[in-house]
Amino acid sequence: MKSPHACKYLYGLIGYPLVHSFSLDYFNQKFISEDIDAQYINFEIEDLGLLGEIIAEYPNLNGLNVTAPYKEAVIPFLDTLDEDARLIGAVNVIRFIRDRSTGALTELRGYNSDVVGFGKTIPSILTPERTSAMVLGTGGAAKAVRAAFEDYGVEVQFVSRRKSESTVVYEEITRAMVAAHKIIVNATPLGKYPDDNRCPDFPYRFLTPEHICYDLIYNPEETLFMKKAAAQGAETKNGIEMLLLQAFDSYDIWTMGDD
């Protein structure tokens, strides 16, 4: 594979840590199979302030994906936001808009493809009993999940480690609350490889076969959250389909308007 500086189009992922990246393999295989002069690389940065250095070093950079913990923190670095990203308050796709004649960077525009990716999976998990959801976590991914659910009329209750007006804490969850929310979504990083021996402190004993427990994590394929839910008879789903769908949307965003 040629140097990242040598390809016509460069894309990448910023986040920390980046132990394993589905996007890296997916996009590079796509570029090879479709004979696109492009490459995708990971930028594992502990300090988001390094974003400016990355942009300066790679004048062929045309787009970035953003993952934890920077989906919200990256917003002040951007010039404009798409409407979904603005309403959600989180960004996971950055489009680099460059002058066609000089290649000079003119704008960094933020988007949120998580809401599209998750939203397209919602019809497959709905049943007449599943009209309300508990979303574990309150970060950028959780906000995108809520926005997607709103389009389907699914009410959302956020669960967090810290009490607020819009959340309940794990210790407050009762059997009646779980019974009233037949969709449980893990939008936290708990259980993600390599810390796959962890899971949210949820009262799994209250789950039933009518529930679906949807983990946005895709590695490992079956998280501890999913295993504990399955042990109670609940349906489970991981985040690989959402990841694929948001990857498709990312590339469409980066290349919109291209000849």
Average confidence (pLDDT) over 108-119? 96
Q: Report percent pLDDT > 90 for the chain.
A: 91
Task: State the pLDDT at residue 139.
Answer: 92
Task: State the pLDDT at residue 259.
Answer: 43
Place 10 in a pLDDT band, splitting at 50, 70 and 90: very high
Average confidence (pLDDT) over 52-68? 96
1 or 148: whose pLDDT is higher?
A: 148
Instruction: Look over the chain and give the mean of its residue pLDDT values, rounded to a whole number.
Output: 95
Residue 258 has pLDDT above 80, yes or no: no
> How far apart (Å, rounded) are the C-alpha atoms in residues 234 and 217?
17
Q: Report percent pLDDT > 70 for the chain.
A: 98
Sign of CA dihedral 9, 76, 93, 29: positive
Average confidence (pLDDT) over 109-133? 97
The three-state DSSP-derived secondary structure of 149-201 is HHCCCCEEEEEECCCECCEEEHHHCCHHHHHHCCEEEECCCCCCCCCCCCCCC
The Cα-based distances of 247 to 113, 118, 126, 161 in angstroms read 8, 11, 23, 30
Task: State the pLDDT at residue 166.
Answer: 87
Task: State the pLDDT at residue 163.
Answer: 87
For residue 8, give every residue at least 6 positions away whose Cβ sits within 8 Å of its Cβ, in sequence order, or none.
37, 38, 60
Task: State the pLDDT at residue 8.
Answer: 95
Average confidence (pLDDT) over 112-120? 96
Residue 229 has pLDDT above 60, yes or no: yes
Average confidence (pLDDT) over 34-42? 97
Q: Which residues are catalytic?
A: 71
